[in-house]
Structure 1
Amino acid sequence: MDNLVAEIRQIISQSRESATRSINHTLTLMYWQIGHIIVEDEQKGKERAGYGKALIKNLSIQLVAEYGENFSNRNLQLSRQFYLTFPNVNSVSSQLTWTHYKALVRIDDLNKRDFYLAEAGKNAWTVRQLERQINSLLYERLLMSQDKESVLAIAQDQKKPTQPHQVIKDPMILEFLGLKPQASYYEQDVENAIITHIQEFLLELGNGFSFVARQKRIVIDSDEFKIDLVFYNRLLQCFVLFDLKMDKITHQDLGQLQMYVNYYDREIRELYENPTIGVLLCADKNDAVVRYTLPENNTQLFASKYQLHLPTEQQLINEIRKELGENE
């Protein structure tokens, strides 16, 4: 009896999800068609710009009176932009809702928009998750370690990430932890907040990550150590170890992380798996210490600064310029 109930529940759940997706896609296509009609009508006007504004305003007055605020002046403007941005109706994904597209059409840069379009569909992002990734400047942060073509190719599944720098972000944005940027915290406070918000942290880490352990105990020659957080990345096929630091990092911190990575490589990972990655997640990064402590051909250890607030575009530009200056 229990098995029968479970099967029926699954059928009901799947049917409801299918119906919801169908309704959402129908609504999305409705707004696309409205945008198409508006643009086609505009092209008949002699003074296109002025006529278009008046047309949408008058349309909105009538449609809102009959059908409600979903047909406001702003939504009609977005419908028009929706059609202009995605003129081929076959390119409108059934996985994304009208609200997803309202966020996407506001992005002027084609490569950037294509990136978020691909990632949102591939990862089944909610609208809130999509907007969070846009606001945290995910695309720009990935560009700090690779070129536009690679970022877009990986998002569209035309290319798989093969190098750690393609998945490890610097900086990492952790505003979802709810910690005040100016307050003092212990490493355990940040770790606890990450575990509490593990779903959001996995979203920030990106594709392919899964959580393995916290405070992972290892014993080396009778001495006990604990690794703060352990993850696995199925795309890179390797373990990713996180060590949290509240202060500016030192060469001793990097040395300890290197020891953890060496232990995992020699004692834990299987022959078919790739070398372990270590990430020192820190509140303040001493770039000179990192540069001179790690070997020039390093591909396993990373120091990534975390931020407890969403960055402004200017802040990120400054970070990019700083990185470029170091690499010159």
Structure 2
Amino acid sequence: MLQNQSVIPDIKAIIAASKDKAIKAVDNERTLMYWYIGQRIFLEEQDGKERAVYGTYLIKFLSQQLQPEYGSGFSVRQLERYRQFYRMFPIASALRTQLSWTQYKFLLTIDNQYKREFYVAESVKNNWTSRQLERQINSSLYERLLISNDKESVLAVAKNEKLPSDAKEIIKDPMYLEFLGLKREAAYYERDLESAIITHLQDFLLELGNGFSFVARQKRIHIDGDEFFTDLVFYNRILQCFVIIEIKTDKLTHQDIGQLQMYVNYYDRVEKLPRENPTIGILLCANKNEGVVKFTLPENEKNIVASQYKLYLPTEQQLLEAMNIELQNFEQGKESE
């Protein structure tokens, strides 16, 4: 009979950790191998650059020689990808070992250097999986941030040169909740949206932004004999504060804002520790009236935010139109200075 019953789970944990490290080490070596192959192909092309078709010939020739022995990883398409990998990331020592080859393949689809640097930095900082990185690229996170912020600020945050200072810099507006699977045409209640968020909590945390962790659902609050229930409570380790989310599937009213303000005040006075920052409240609503928000809250209020949610992703045309409007507004502002 074992005296210490923890020995088995301890050994299993050691085995799992070692396997994980081995897998990451193998993937890192594979990534470096593809980089060096891409470098060698590129250098060979440069030697024969006076021949316009030499690059195409070289890739096909190499595939014919290598694929029978080493498999589909050396097809024409894959060899072209290795060459592109070297050209987009020309310094081997600068490759981020935290990223897998699958993640680098997603990054190779991005032509814009700044956009690529943003996703590299965010992937490393947030420890995104390949699936999470793919979703953020497909949901146009970079473009949405550009719409609400200037490019310099986005890049500064991506490179850890600047930390968000208030709620509006870290909370997205709008939030795209297409992963919940709710249809625009369907009738649903606030509890349906809340349940869907809990079911897809990992994806929702990713959409919320950096540093969020889940605390509670339908948190009971007692105030002088009356009971109230907050829809969702999170904590943000970057802003070091509680974040309360109230869900509204119908038109936003000033009463909704007042109720959220009460919850925020309660958390600030009862739950918040002295070392923590003031609580943030988010009204996640289907439609919002900016005027109602503006005149219900005190001027310069930073801790209550109304964020509109959408159940479908914007089209490329919608993103381009939004960015063009922002650019026009910027240019008009420069002319008036």
Q: TM-score, normalised by structure 1?
A: 0.92
Q: Any conservation in 1 of the 2:166–2:303 contact (CA below 8 Å)?
A: no
Are residues 1:211 and 2:214 paired? yes
What residue in structure 1 maps to residue 126 of structure 2?
123
CA distance in 1: counterparts of 2:231 and 2:302, whole angstroms:
21
Aligned length: 328
Root mean square deviation of aligned Cα: 2.2
Query: Secondary structure of 1:247's match?
Result: strand
Which one-letter code corresponds to 1:241 in the other structure? I
Output the amino acid matched with 2:187: S
Q: State the alpha-carbon separation in 2 of the partners of residues 288 and 321 from structure 1.
A: 24
Q: Which amino acid in 2 is paired with 1:168?
A: I
Deviates more, 1:214-223 or 1:171-180: 214-223
Q: Which residue pairs with 1:314 in the alignment? A: 317
User: Per-residue deviation at 1:318?
Assistant: 4.2
CA distance in 1, matches of 2:309, 2:324: 18
1:10 maps onto 2:13 in alignment: yes
Q: Does 1:74 align with 2:77?
A: yes
Residue 300 of structure 2 corresponds to which residue in structure 1?
A: 297
Percent identity, aligned pairs only, is: 60
Query: Does the CA-based 8 Å contact 1:42-1:48 persist in structure 2?
Result: no
User: For 1:43, what is the secondary structure of its paired residue?
Assistant: helix
Measure the CA separation in 2 of the matches of 1:48 and 1:276. Answer: 65
- Spell out, residue by residue over 1:118-150, the C-alpha distance to the aligned partner (whole angstroms, 9 max, x if none): 111222211111110111111222334433333
1:145–1:165 contact (8 Å) kept in structure 2: no
Residue 63 to residue 288, structure 1, CA distance change in 2 (3 Å): farther
Alignment-derived partner of residue 51 in structure 1 = 54
- Residues 275-319 of structure 1 deviation map (CA, whole Å, 9 limit, x = unaligned): 111111112222333333333412011111112222223323445
1:96, CA displacement in angstroms? 1.2
1:198 match? 201
Q: Which runs of 5+ in 2 are unaligned?
A: none
Partner of 1:105: 108
Whether the 8 Å CA contact 2:147–2:326 is kept in 1: the answer is yes
Change (3 A) 1:323 1:40: closer
Question: Letter of the aligned partner of 1:201 in structure 2?
Answer: F
2:38 match: 35
Cα separation, partners in 2 of 1:95 and 1:188, compared to 1, 3 Å: same
Between the aligned partners of 1:244 and 1:322, the Cα distance in structure 2 is: 29
8 Å Cα contact 1:214/1:228 also seen in 2: yes
- State whether structure 2 residue 67 is matched by structure 1 residue 86: no
Residue of structure 2 equivalent to 1:167: 170
Instruction: Say which of 154, 158, 165 aligns to 1:155.
Output: 158
Aligned counterpart, 1:288: 291
Counterpart contact for 2:246–2:282, Cα < 8 Å: yes
1:181 aligns with 2:184: yes
Moved more, 135-144 or 22-31: 135-144
1:261–1:316 CA distance, 2 compared to 1 (3 A) = farther
Distance of 2:184 and 2:191 partners within structure 1: 16
- Over 3 Å counting, the alpha-carbon distance change for 1:69 and 1:181 in structure 2 is farther
Map of 1:270 onto structure 2: 273
Q: Who is 1:22 aligned against?
A: 25
TM-score, normalisation: structure 2:
0.90
Tell me which moved more, 148-157 or 92-101: 148-157
Task: For 2:264 and 2:164, locate their aligned partners in 1 and report how far apart those are by CA, in whole Å.
Answer: 20
1:37 is matched by which residue type in structure 2?
R
Say which is worse superposed, 263-272 or 195-204, in terms of deviation.
Answer: 263-272
Residue pair 1:142, 1:166 contacting (<8 A) in 2 also: no
Structure 1 unaligned residues grouped into runs of 5+: none
